[in-house]
Chain A
Amino acid sequence: MKRGRISQQGIVFVIFAALFAAFAFLLPGFASTQNMLTLLQNVAVLGILGLGMAIVVIGRGVDLSLIATLAVPPGLVLQMVQDGHSFSGSLAAALLLTVAFGLINGWLIAYAEVPALFTTLATGLFLAGVGQALLFNLDVVQWSDGMAGFERLGQGTAFGVPMPIIVFALACVGVAILLRQTRIGAYIYAIGDNPYGARATGVPTRPIVVLQYVLAALIGCLAGLVMASSVNSMPTRIFNSTWIYDVILVVVLGGIGLSGGRGGVVNVVIGTLLIGTMLNGMTIMDMSYSAQNLVKGVVLLAAVIADSFLNPRNEETAQQGDI
């Protein structure tokens, strides 16, 4: 980013700050510590998913199957424990499923060269189908006694901070270290910036792409476990919702371009905070769900339009296939 230019993440941050200030000023109880924690807790799962999406998007991909990995492997844990298997065994099985799923995604995208958008659309559908047809008895998988203690991941607190926030923070640190401090992270940025260039310079692009999708799947699974433990069940129908669009919005609004190679964990945090603040403020204002969505959409649109005016695209440098 050139100096003197306001980047998209800057714009989104300004909007976030303005909204935050306005809500704090106008809405009674918004700025309280308790409300802040609620706010963060509500968006923690979204933020964790955003981290998974960020890894993939930075590498010039997209993962629409995140919601399926959020729903199915954690649902499998709950179902297996319900059926009398040990908790650790169930967890291992779920992780195995997640890794296998990530590998399939990555293989299809990196080796079979099916576009990521299409691959993850189809594999997400497939995984949801597997869950629906083979794994779960009911759409909502219930908590059972074998899981006792594990609900602290979603409901417990540490140092007064709810666990989901802690998990989100830890995940942020982990992903930040991966992206900024390791060779793999540098490779991911290189692939996102110019996949052919990266390949020509000797980056093992295909294995790295596979790794991206495995990591995304694992992070999706983690988000699912947090979610399940905070509501004591796994509503697998969540796959049918439009949640995945929220995840993409978090990532892209924060300033991680869909064309890859740009942005980082900070952007996910900013995007998550903006969405969280808006949703929280509107909930306090007692707006209906649809109205909230409408306002959310308009604000997001404003942010994207502002970005296009401050950072106009150049026909000369627009990348081919960059949608």
Chain B
Amino acid sequence: MEALARLRYRLWPDHLLGEILSKRWTETAIPVIVLIAVAIALGRAIDGFFSIVSLADQARQAGEIGFVVLGMALVVIVGGIDLSVGSMFALCDFCALFCLDILNLPVAAVFVITLLFGATLGAINGFLIGYLRLRAFITTLITLIIYRSAYDLLIQDYSNRIAASFPDFPSWNFVGGGELFGVPSVALVYIVIAVFGHVFLTRLRPGWHITAIGGSRRSAYNSGIAVRRTIALCYVASGALTALGAVFFAARLGTVGGDVGVGLEVTVLTATVLGGISLGGGKGSVAKALAGTLIVLLVTNGLTTLSVRGGFNRMALASILLVAAIIDIRWLKNRTRIISKVYVSPTYHYLPPPPSTEIGGGGPFEQNDKLRDVTLIGLGRIEAPEDVILDRHDNLYAGSRHGDIMRFLAPDYEKMEVYAHIGGQPLGMAFDRQDNLYCCIGGMGLYRITPDRKVEKATDETNRSIYSVNDDSRLRLADDLDIAPDGRIFFSEATVRYEMHEWPVDGLEARGNGRIVCYDPNRNTTRTVLRGLKFPNGVCVASDGQSILFAETFGASINRYWFDGPRTGEVEVVIDNLPGYPDNINLASDGNYWLALVGMRSPVIDLAWRMAGFRRRMAKRLPLDEWLFPNINTGCVVKFNEKGEVLESFWDLAGANHPMITSMREHRGYLYLGGISNNRIGRYKLENADPNFVQYDKRWGRA
């Protein structure tokens, strides 16, 4: 049975569901599914619905309305509404035909003038709503009436003359009915505008401003965005886009009938909402606008083609709209809840029974009380020193929860100062050849503090994995590092699926979510070198200078990775089945390695790790506080050699003096201890240790 479970969890990618759902584009899923369903239903019901002619005709109408929908989408995203689009459409249609038929202007001029005219109409809305801060709904309602009556008055005078003329310019006919490679002219222009609109909304600063204003007008205002101007410009854009649609409409039909654009605002608004662009602002995309447009158009055209009675046509349209809206709203409302339920996806993880740590049990892990009387540094003054490091002047550096690297000054370590302020929590640290202090910052990446205390970003991104659904290019939880002889920096990233504060959840999941990343300061490149590791944590360059030793915390193992020499790229297990969860690794003065065990394994967790379904049910049904997590309260320091033999261990049975150990650093005969949930740093006098040992001086050959 267990073999089956192991196979099932190895082959089936449980974690993908949650990752796919948390993608922004899945918000568009419902409109697109509705669109496909409608298209299939109509395609089966109507012969030739998807013939070239029919499709081209659909595309023309879709383009014309599509421009208006894009404008409306923009206005809705910024938090407004534009009910006057139908009347603007009619006026722009009139403007184009007036310029062409009565003023006999060239086609290009007609285009420009109509677009400017539409932009002006939009600018009136924009001025009233953006600058005078009128309410969008009521204002555009009034301009709807004004524009419409202006149109009605104008066509009383000119409709006959426009109807009487038959303009015959190739360019105008191309606008109305031409095609390029079988694609209608209007569709081509629409594609160009839509692609630009997508880039504009998602990649450019003004687009972000629009979304920000729609999301929270107040916050946008307070953060210095030109709220009024941006809103006004959105209405201008809406007017111009409406004019663009109207030009194509004018070129295709060439009429100024009394019903041009009547009720267009309803169609357009329906398309907008149906696409999932929520009224009230802040949410929306070009893809949604397109999906909404196509649904509305397919349904109306399909029902017209089926020549059902007008009433049934309306009933069907209304029902589809309502059902789609209900599904869409439910989906958007519950999406985050669904994600939070399915994102945690535990997998099968087997560890053999751990070696004994019992007193009297013998072996290197036998518990003792050596660390009971460590002296304490900075008690109550430092918070969360995950790693500690000392320079050749014996000053002690440690990270703090407040985003600082603190320095305790030698010789008594009483005086404490902020060495550098970074902003994120400092984790592993190392000195390079030039005495720069490299530091992994949780949530921020790899940073460098120069000897004159300047903070520089080394790297915060790596190459994106091609097959990963989550964008894993950003460094979420860089953890510990060491520096190879040629200056390359190898650092671990514990997990790519969780943020720093959620790291225990990664342990619950027990999937290999972590990786080893290499940063080359000479070429300023960052590449991922190893993937799929179970919470890789401590990193230490081995004494051969060609490989690193790294700990996998939830794999309870130490591995070696060769980055140089004949075995480049190979990975070998050095120690497996540790009795606890390994954390940082550092050099000892005798050529061996120190290893911190941050917590000890327990039979309950070992068993739970073999029962993925149990942990999944737990994550779904219980509140976070009641989940079963790996123990991180009691740990020890062990020393092991190059071959992976554990030599001795240091314990504190009471755990009162120095409760938690995430790292240790040997320096001039003492062992300095750090712990991420401690408010102190421990200092332990080592027997038979080299009293002149300074780790990075020895590494860089200065000792």
Interface residues of A (CB under 8 A from B): 108, 112-115, 117-119, 121-123, 125-126, 128-134, 240, 242, 245, 248-249, 252, 258, 288-294, 296-298, 300-301, 304-305, 308-309, 312-313, 315-316, 318, 320-323
* Interchain CB contact under 8 A, A321 and B145: no
What chain A residues lie within 8 Å of B317 (beta carbons)?
A: 125, 129
Most buried by B among A112, A296, A320: A320
Contact (Cβ within 8 A) B149 A297: yes
Determine if A318 and B146 form an interchain contact, defined as CB atoms under 8 angstroms apart.
no
Residues B123-153 near A (CB distance < 8 A): 128, 132-139, 141-146, 148-150, 152-153
Which residues of B lie under 8 Å from residue A242 when comparing CB positions?
Answer: 144-145, 148, 262
In the complex formed, the residue of B with least CB distance to A112 is: B326
- With A108-B326, A125-B317, A315-B217 already in contact, the answer to whether A290 and B137 are too (CB < 8 A) is no
Q: State in angstroms the CA–CA spacing of A303 and B279 once bound together.
A: 26
B133 to chain A, nearest CB (A): 5
Taking a contact as CB atoms under 8 Å apart, the answer to whether B309 and A298 are in contact is no
Contact yes or no, A132 B311, CB < 8 A: yes
Contact indicator B318/A123 (Cβ below 8 Å): yes
- B266 close to A (CB within 8 Å): yes
Tell me, yes or no, whether B263 is within 8 Å of chain A by CB.
yes
What's the minimum C-beta distance from B79 to chain A, rounded to whole angstroms?
A: 7
A-B interface contact total, Cβ < 8 Å: 165
Please, how many angstroms separate the alpha-carbon atoms of A41 and B178 in the complex? 54
Inter-chain contact B138/A252, CB cutoff 8 Å? yes
Taken together as a complex, chains A and B put the C-alpha atoms of A55 and B329 apart, in Å, by 25
B152→A132 contact, CB < 8 A: no
> Contacts of B227 on A, CB cut-off 8 Å?
315
Interface centre among B135, B217, B227, B279 (most CB of A within 10 A): B135
Q: B145 contacts which of A123, A131, A258, A293 (Cβ < 8 Å)?
A: A293
Q: Report yes or no: B152 in contact with A290, Cβ–Cβ below 8 A.
A: yes
Contacts of B313 in A (CB 8 A): 129
When C-beta atoms are compared, the residue in chain A nearest to B280 turns out to be A321
B315 touches A323 (CB 8 A): no
CA distance A128 to B313 in the complex (A): 10
Q: Which residues of B contact A245 (CB under 8 A)?
A: 83, 141, 144-145
B314 within 8 Å of A by Cβ?
Answer: yes
Q: Give chain B nearest CB distance to A113 CB in angstroms.
A: 6
Bound CA span A293–B152, Å: 10
Which of chain B's residues have a CB closer than 8 A to the CB of A117? Answer: 269, 279
Is the pair B149, A294 in contact by a Cβ cutoff of 8 Å?
yes
Kindly state whether residue B207 has any CB partner on chain A within 8 Å.
no
A132 vs B153: C-alpha distance when bound (angstroms):
31
The answer to whether A304 touches B217 (Cβ under 8 A) is no
The verdict on B443 contacting chain A, using a C-beta distance below 8 Å, is: no
Residue among B139, B142, B311, B319 making CB contact with A131, cutoff 8 Å:
B311
Q: How far is the CB of B542 from chain A (nearest CB, A)?
A: 57
Select one of A119, A130, A297, A304 contacting B315, CB under 8 A.
Answer: A130
Q: B485: shortest Cβ distance to chain A, in Å? A: 58
In the complex the two chains form, is B128's CB within 8 Å of A321's CB?
A: no
Q: What are 25 A-B contacts defined by CB distance under 8 Å? A: A114-B325, A117-B279, A118-B269, A118-B279, A118-B325, A122-B318, A123-B322, A125-B318, A126-B322, A129-B313, A131-B311, A132-B309, A132-B310, A132-B314, A134-B311, A242-B148, A249-B138, A293-B148, A294-B150, A300-B142, A300-B145, A304-B139, A320-B281, A321-B79, A323-B137
Q: Residue among A122, A134, A304 with the most chain B CB within 10 A?
A: A122
Q: B273 near A: Cβ within 8 Å?
A: yes
Whether A126 pairs with B318 at a CB distance below 8 angstroms is: yes
Q: Is B643 an interface residue (CB 8 A)?
A: no
Q: How large is the interface on B (under 10, 10 to 19, 20 to 34, 35 or more residues)?
A: 35 or more
Q: Is B70 an interface residue (CB 8 A)?
A: no
Which residues, 298 to 324 on B, are CB-close (under 8 Å) to A? Answer: 309-319, 321-322
Q: A133-B315, A308-B134 are in contact. Are A297 and B142 (CB under 8 A)?
A: yes
Which residues of the other chain, A, contact B316 by a CB distance below 8 angstroms?
129
What 0/1 pattern do residues 199 to 243 of B give for CB contact below 8 A with A? Answer: 000000000000000001110010000010000000000000000
The answer to whether the Cβ of B393 comes within 8 Å of any Cβ in the partner chain is: no
Contact partner of A115 (CB less than 8 A), chosen from B139, B218, B273, is: B273
Report if B381 contacts A (CB, 8 A): no
Question: A133-B315, A291-B149 known; 15 other A-B pairs, CB under 8 Å?
Answer: A113-B329, A115-B278, A119-B325, A121-B321, A134-B311, A240-B263, A248-B138, A291-B153, A294-B146, A309-B132, A315-B221, A320-B281, A323-B80, A323-B279, A323-B280
Query: Which A-B residue pairs are the 7 nearest by beta carbons?
Result: A133-B311, A129-B314, A132-B311, A321-B280, A297-B146, A126-B318, A293-B149
- What B residues does A248 contact at CB under 8 A? 138, 141
Residues of B within 8 A of A125 (CB): 314-315, 317-318, 321
Give Cα A315 to B79, complex, Å: 13
Q: CA–CA, A315 to B152, complex, Å?
A: 37
Which of A297, A304, A316, A323 contacts B79 (CB under 8 A)? A323
B311 touches A130 (CB 8 A): yes
How many angstroms from the CA of A112 to the CA of B331 in the assembled complex?
12
- B588 interface hit (Cβ, 8 Å): no
Asked if B142 and A318 make an inter-chain contact with CB atoms under 8 angstroms apart, the answer reads no
Residue of A nearest to B124 (CB): A301
Task: Assess whether B81 is interfacial by the CB under 8 Å rule.
Answer: yes
Query: Closest chain A residue to B321 by CB distance?
Result: A122
Q: A318-B217, A320-B280 are in contact. Are A297 and B321 (CB under 8 A)?
A: no
| CA–CA, A130 and B318, complex, Å | 11
| Residue from A112, A129, A292 whose CB has the most chain B CB atoms within 10 Å | A129
Residue of B nearest to A134 (CB): B311
Instruction: Check B553 for interface membership: any CB of A closer than 8 A.
Output: no
Most chain A CB neighbours (cut-off 10 Å) among B80, B83, B132, B314: B314
Contacting residues, chain A, for B315 (C-beta < 8 A): 125-126, 129-130, 133
Give the chain A neighbours of B702 by CB distance below 8 A.
none
The distance in angstroms between the C-alpha atoms of A112 and B330, with both chains bound, is 8
B141 touches which of A113, A249, A293, A321 (Cβ 8 Å)? A249
B296 to chain A, nearest CB (A): 12
B218 touches A304 (CB 8 A): no
Q: Nearest CB to that of B281 among chain A residues?
A: A321
The complex places the Cα of A125 from the Cα of B269 at a distance, in Å, of: 14
Using CB atoms, name the residue of chain B closest to A292.
Answer: B149
Contact of A305 among B134, B309, B322 (CB under 8 A): B134
Contact partner of B142 among A119, A249, A312, CB < 8 A?
A: A249
A126, A128, A288, A289: the one contacting B319 at CB < 8 Å is A126
B270 within 8 A of A: yes
Does B468 sit within 8 A of A, measured CB to CB?
no
A292 proximity list for chain B (CB < 8 A): 149
Smallest beta-carbon distance A115→chain B, Å: 5
Distance A293 CA – B588 CA, assembled complex (angstroms) = 90
Per the bound structure, the CA–CA distance linking A293 and B333 in Å amounts to: 42
Among candidates A114, A293, A322, residue contacting B326 with C-beta atoms closer than 8 Å? A114
Q: Which residues of B contact A291 (CB under 8 A)?
A: 149, 153
Q: Which residues of A contact B688 (CB under 8 A)?
A: none
Is the Cβ of A119 less than 8 Å from the Cβ of B322? yes
Residue B524 lies at the interface, judged by CB distance under 8 Å to chain A? no
Given known A123-B318, A293-B152, contact A129–B311 (CB-CB < 8 A):
yes
Bound state CA distance, A293 and B134, in angstroms?
A: 21
* In the complex, residue of chain B having the shortest beta-carbon distance to the beta carbon of A299: B142
Cα distance, A297 to B279, chains bound together (Å) = 25
Q: Smallest distance from the beta carbon of A169 to chain B beta carbons, Å?
A: 27
The CA of A122 and the CA of B320, in the complex, are separated in Å by: 9
Q: How far is the CA of A117 from the CA of B80 in the complex (A)?
A: 13
B314 in complex: contacting residue of A119, A128, A309, A322, CB < 8 Å: A128
Asked if B279 and A108 sit within 8 Å, CB to CB, the answer is no
Q: Verify B318–A133 contact, CB threshold 8 A.
A: no
How long is the Cα–Cα vector from A315 to B226 in the complex, in angstroms?
12
Given contact pairs A132-B309, A134-B311, A304-B134, A115 touches B279 in the complex (Cβ within 8 A):
yes
C-alpha spacing A283/B683, complex, angstroms = 97
Is B51 an interface residue when CB atoms closer than 8 A count as contact? no
